[in-house]
Structures are given as C-alpha cells and as structure tokens.
Amino acid sequence: MKIIAVVDDENVLTPLEYGETIIQVDTETGEKKLYENPGFGSPYQGKERAMAGILTLKADAILVKEGFLCPGSYHMSKGRMQYIPVEEEKFDQIEPKLNTITSKAVTELDFGLYRE
C-alpha cells in the first residue's frame, strides 16, 4: 500500500497547506519518496493544490487528523484514495507502524475530520 503523509520541516504531520513535504511510503517495498508540496503556504486553496499534487502520485491512502482536509480537498480525493485517521503528531512515530495501521484505512470520513 502506498501511503501519503504531509509534514513540516520537523516531520510533524500537518494540514495539507502547512506541510512543506509530501512523503510517500510503499509498505510493500519499504521505499520512501519525498516531494515538494505544491500547496505549501498558499493562503488561497492551499489544501486543494496540495491534494491535486497528491492525487498525481496515485497513492492508496493518506494519513489524516482533524482539520487536515477541507470539504474541497476531501471531495477531490473521495473514491480515489482511502484515509487513515491517526493520533500521533510526528511521522517518525507512525512510520514503524505503517504496516499495521493500514487496517484502519476507511473510504469515508466523518464530517468533523474535514470541516472548515
């Protein structure tokens, strides 16, 4: 499974427009790729720009917390990837558990997770 995380310069999981880096990890091969976030720092439609970039990567799932997505970015991605709600703050805490948390992937999120 290819999983996406959006992180800042300290590897803290962030809402789509606040993370400088998009990380893609393939849980089958262990390969990890870093991409520049096209929505980073954008005061207008930053989440949507970031999601547009993420969707080009053809990932299977994205790590999310409350406020990471907005209605626009959620609806752009719905049906094209799954969502893995997490509690951890840093990607370093999640990375060793990626193979096990894939079972938490869902195809739809509660409105509270993506409302603005």
Each residue's pLDDT expressed in tens, for the chain with a length of 116 residues? 999 999 999 999 999 999 999 999 999 999 999 999 999 999 889 999 999 999 999 999 999 999 999 999 999 999 999 999 999 999 999 999 999 999 999 999 999 889 87
Domain ranges of the chain: 2-114
**pTM summary value:** 0.95
Residue 115, pLDDT score: 84
**CA separation, residue 71 to residues 47, 67, 68, 93 (Å):** 10, 10, 10, 27
Report which of 68, 72, 33, 80 is spatially closest to residue 49, judged by C-alpha positions: 72
Residue with tokens 């980073």: 40
* CA distance readout (Å), 12 to 7, 15, 110: 5, 10, 23
The CATH number of 2-114 is 3.30.420.130
Q: Which two tokens stand for residue 97?
A: 């558990």
Dihedral pair phi/psi, residue 83, rounded to 5°: -125, 135
Site of tokens 């509690």: 87
From residue 32, give the alpha-carbon distance in Å to each of 14, 17, 70, 75: 18, 21, 26, 26
